[in-house]
């Protein structure tokens, strides 16, 4: 196959590592009642490689969560292209997918951990049942295998196995988040999207969730995009970082470099707010 360049797909040249995900020109605008538009994000472009964690940081309203919502197809972008290696070998824009293909992308190739676990869990289905739902959607069929896998991932996320048949509605927020993480990882998706996963949790619970995610990433080589307004979360988890303001990427680079030597005035302001 000839190398694909530009925005027509992922390059396939032999001997050159290709991105797992390539995003070009992602834009989402919402119409207003007055006939104008609100820009949620505009011309966002980046590459993400297998085993890498990309952080996206910015204040509320910067557009960072919109990027994840578009990638997971909770929201359809106004324009842009995204090529994910498992989707037709990275040769087709995921936003050209039909309904069946979109479902497969969401159940096989990607998963989302939402800021509010209630968006990612069915609270009146057991913890194990939530994981089973995802595995069934990913074409698992043997009940014994599904239960074993559910137990395995609940253990990995430090959810006691004696809570496996309990309803998440009666779990603490931190425990719900752990179940949601277990559900998102259970069928080994190529890409995991993490949206403000510690917001609203007690400080001690935040630390436990972050340590858990970091440990899983190191053990499993998870490829992920982490969205947060908290630079501490980004520093802990992300290899590279995009800084967003008013829907635009204003700075990007290695996380340590951005946090230790920020170049854009907005990034400098974010860093200074944390260090002072």
Sheet holding 248-254, edge to edge: 110-113, 191-195, 224-228, 53-57, 240-245, 248-254
What's the distance, CA 39 to chain centroid?
Answer: 21
- State the average pLDDT over residues 101-119: 94
Confidence of residue 8 (pLDDT cuts 50, 70, 90): very low
Predicted local confidence at residue 47, as pLDDT? 98
Supply the pTM of this predicted model. 0.90
Q: Which two tokens stand for residue 93?
A: 């824009």
pLDDT at 5 over 70: no
Give tens-digit pLDDT for 17-33. 899 999 999 999 999 99
For residue 105, count other CB atoms closer than 10 A to its CB: 21
Check whether 211 has a pLDDT greater than 70.
yes
Q: Provide the pLDDT for residue 2.
A: 31
Beta bridge partners of 83: 22
pLDDT at 208: 84
For residue 3, what pLDDT is reported? 34
Q: Note the pLDDT of residue 163.
A: 96
Share of the chain above pLDDT 70, in %: 94
Reported as a pLDDT band with limits 50, 70 and 90, residue 276 is low
Angle between helices 173-185 and 143-156 in degrees, nearest 10? 130
Whether the predicted pLDDT of 15 surpasses 70: no
Report, as an integer, the average pLDDT of 217-222: 88
Q: In this predicted model, what pLDDT tens digit does every residue of 144-155 receive, in sequence order?
A: 999 999 999 999
Query: What does the pLDDT read at residue 168?
Result: 96
Higher pLDDT, residue 5 or 42: 42
User: pLDDT band at residue 9, thresholds of 50, 70 and 90?
Assistant: low
Amino acid 14: pLDDT: 52
Inform me whether the pLDDT recorded for 44 exceeds 90: yes
Confidence of residue 200 (pLDDT cuts 50, 70, 90): confident
pLDDT band at 199 (very low <50, low <70, confident <90, very high): confident
């Amino acid at each position: 196959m000839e190398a694909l360049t530009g925005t027509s797909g992922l390059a396939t040249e032999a001997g050159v590592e290709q991105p797992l995900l390539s995003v070009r020109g992602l834009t989402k605008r919402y119409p207003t009642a007055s006939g104008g538009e609100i820009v949620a994000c505009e011309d966002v472009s980046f590459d993400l490689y297998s085993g890498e964690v990309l952080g996206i940081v910015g204040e509320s309203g910067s557009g960072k969560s919109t990027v994840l919502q578009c990638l997971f197809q909770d929201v359809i972008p106004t324009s842009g292209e995204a090529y994910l290696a498992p989707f037709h070998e990275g040769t087709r824009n995921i936003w050209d997918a039909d309904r069946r293909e979109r479902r497969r992308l969401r159940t096989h190739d990607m998963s989302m951990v939402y800021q509010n676990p209630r968006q990612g869990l069915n609270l009146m289905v057991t913890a194990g049942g939530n994981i089973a739902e995802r595995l069934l959607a990913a074409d698992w069929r043997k009940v014994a295998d599904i239960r074993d896998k559910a137990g395995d991932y609940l253990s990995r996320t430090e959810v006691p196995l004696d809570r496996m048949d309990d309803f998440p509605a009666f779990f603490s927020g931190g425990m719900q988040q752990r179940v949601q993480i277990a559900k998102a990882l259970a069928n080994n998706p190529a890409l995991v999207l993490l949206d403000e996963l510690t917001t609203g949790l007690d400080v001690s619970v935040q630390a436990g969730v972050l340590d858990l995610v970091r440990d899983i990433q190191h053990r499993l080589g998870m490829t992920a995009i982490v969205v947060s307004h908290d630079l501490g979360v980004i520093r802990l988890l992300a290899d590279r970082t995009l800084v967003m303001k008013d829907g635009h990427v204003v700075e990007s680079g290695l996380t340590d470099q951005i946090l230790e030597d920020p170049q854009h005035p907005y990034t400098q302001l974010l860093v200074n707010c944390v260090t002072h």
